[in-house]
Structure 1
């Protein structure tokens, strides 16, 4: 996914804090397979060799893919540098992350290499770090650093689990971890068989006079929703892409009728934008149907599905699925 989409849709992930004394904090990796090391992982910035099971893992991300994967695999990172600029632990991590063990640091304006170094990590996971191009060289001097495979936002949630599991010596647990998220998808399909073949649109209003709508089957949110049996509405699939070439189409008020579908998911960054959208005459018919207004945190989690946020986001969308019959 293009970087501009992150800015447009807002990631809404985790909180901020200051680097504390790290002398007593360690990553939980007791069950790592010692025979899995040394291991070499190739990514866009080269090949990184990890000599032994990491004990102090630092995660850097614009989205929480690596953090969620590590936690799901039973490893507690000593810190997470969050680039999304939000200020609270996301609901899907409630009870799964302990701020006393994992420092959550606001890195919206960039990662401070000195802060990272002060944590004395022996592994840095940054496969979901937009901006890693500018940071990788300094980070790699601190500890083995794993970047994204080809470009930021191009790896599926399953691929994030696989690479994190490889780096942590947890490949034996990866299949079960992925299966837990897949089970949530399968449950939605079983509970809502009428969703099969029904159309959907998913959009965000964060700019006056525009709606940004998912318009490509390459988009991870589209893939997640289609895995439940839904189908992206052809009307938005043909929507013109924005200037960045991202899979998010830009619709102007005279095009809002294109958002009509069996399930219409929308989120807004302000009540004023929602009211302006809903006053549009082309929207009146949409509102009368299966019209689900959700929050930015939900739409952001949908855009960047992770092994831990998938069950949560599908639960949030259940009212829309229920209306499909």
Structure 2
């Protein structure tokens, strides 16, 4: 319940930001682009795709696309389960109610998608070319919104372009930058602190890599990863043994769990003397967070939630 309530607040804050800037909810002045039924865009693969000017039945086949669409005031008719979850990304809370599930990440069910009669499919990253070709044949308005190595802001902009909401996304990011600057200004002695981000797995802790989603939000806030956590990449390291537990330490330690069995293993680890010797633990700077957000892929609403969590703990 607490997680859903927090997610509702983040979604409401995003909508409020858009409304205050004059970019959300209200009718836009009619222009030439509104009069046309379709428009042609170039997706992240360089493919030209004809999409509806005002899509009404959107299917989002990635966590980032779902997050981005909701941030822009668009509720898809279909989406996929979040990684390691049995529904959409939990951090989005009640905002996903009523959205049909059409499969898992990278494994959408074509029949379920077609039953929803989509006029636009936000495909996410093209990890399976055969799957993409099939989807383009069945739903020509299928847009690959980002590459695997694209950051969340690039993905957000591409999703917004497909939805014909590029201006709204630009304003959203401007408001985000303003909030980030405000929060950073409250850090005091925590300015420039080192932050470790860890996904605790059943077989041990994996450190989120330098370009992982939460890592990028941390960098926006002027915080840094420890020197031994500069490995490039978008996922996480191989699980560490408890003998190497010191590698996860930093001024602040944020740990999330995602897959079944992880919470129990984290609870066991916290009873280990090596865990108690971490500086972050001794200084009461060990924070358990939502692994569906901090240790997976996310979008603008997720970024806002991370900023809010950091503000809660590091802000003055």
Corresponding position of 2:83: 84
What does the per-residue CA deviation read over 1:158-187, in whole Å, with 9 as the maximum and x for residues that have no partner? 212211221122222121122343344233
What does the per-residue CA deviation read over 1:123-181, in whole Å, with 9 as the maximum and x for residues that have no partner? 1001257x4434211111222111144x32x2222212211221122222121122343
Q: How does 1:1-325 map to 2 (within 5 A)?
A: 33-34=33-34, 37-44=38-45, 46-50=47-51, 52-61=53-62, 64-82=63-81, 84-88=83-87, 90=89, 92-94=91-93, 96-99=95-98, 102-107=99-104, 110-128=107-125, 131-143=127-139, 144-149=141-146, 151-152=147-148, 154-208=149-203, 210-216=204-210, 218-237=211-230, 248-250=236-238, 251-268=240-257, 269-286=261-278, 287-289=281-283, 290-300=285-295, 303-322=296-315
Distance 1:306 1:169 in 2: 18
Q: How far 1:318 moved relative to its partner?
A: 4.3
Q: How far 1:96 moved relative to its partner?
A: 3.6
What does the per-residue CA deviation read over 1:226-246, in whole Å, with 9 as the maximum and x for residues that have no partner? 2112111002336xx9xxx76
What SS does structure 2 have at the residue aligned with 1:54? Answer: coil
What SS does structure 1 have at the residue aligned with 2:244? Answer: helix
Q: How far 1:205 moved relative to its partner?
A: 1.8
The ranges of structure 1 where at least 4 consecutive aligned residues each deviate by more than 6 angstroms after the TM superposition are none
Structure 2 vs 1, CA of residues 69 and 35 (structure 1 numbering), >3 Å: closer, same or farther? farther
Q: How far 1:307 moved relative to its partner?
A: 0.9
Distance 1:87 1:213 in 2: 24
Distance 2:108 2:87 in 1: 18
8 Å CA contact retained: 2:59, 2:121: yes
8 Å CA contact retained: 1:203, 1:267: yes
Corresponding position of 2:4: none
What SS does structure 1 have at the residue aligned with 2:270? Answer: helix
8 Å CA contact retained: 1:85, 1:108: no
What does the per-residue CA deviation read over 1:197-221, in whole Å, with 9 as the maximum and x for residues that have no partner? 211111122133x3201243x3332
TM-score by length of 1: 0.74
What SS does structure 2 have at the residue aligned with 1:232? Answer: coil
Unaligned ranges ≥5, structure 1: 1-12, 14-27
Distance 2:312 2:76 in 1: 35
Structure 2 vs 1, CA of residues 50 and 106 (structure 1 numbering), >3 Å: closer, same or farther? closer
8 Å CA contact retained: 2:72, 2:168: yes
Distance 2:154 2:277 in 1: 40
Unaligned ranges ≥5, structure 2: 1-6, 8-24
Distance 2:229 2:72 in 1: 37
Structure with greater helix share of residues: 2
What does the per-residue CA deviation read over 1:39-95, in whole Å, with 9 as the maximum and x for residues that have no partner? 22133373322254322211111xx21112222223232222335352345565345
The alignment's C-alpha RMSD in Å is 3.1
8 Å CA contact retained: 2:202, 2:262: no
TM-score by length of 2: 0.76
Q: How far 1:314 moved relative to its partner?
A: 2.9
What SS does structure 2 have at the residue aligned with 1:275? Answer: helix
Structure 2 vs 1, CA of residues 196 and 82 (structure 1 numbering), >3 Å: closer, same or farther? same
Structure 2 vs 1, CA of residues 30 and 77 (structure 1 numbering), >3 Å: closer, same or farther? farther
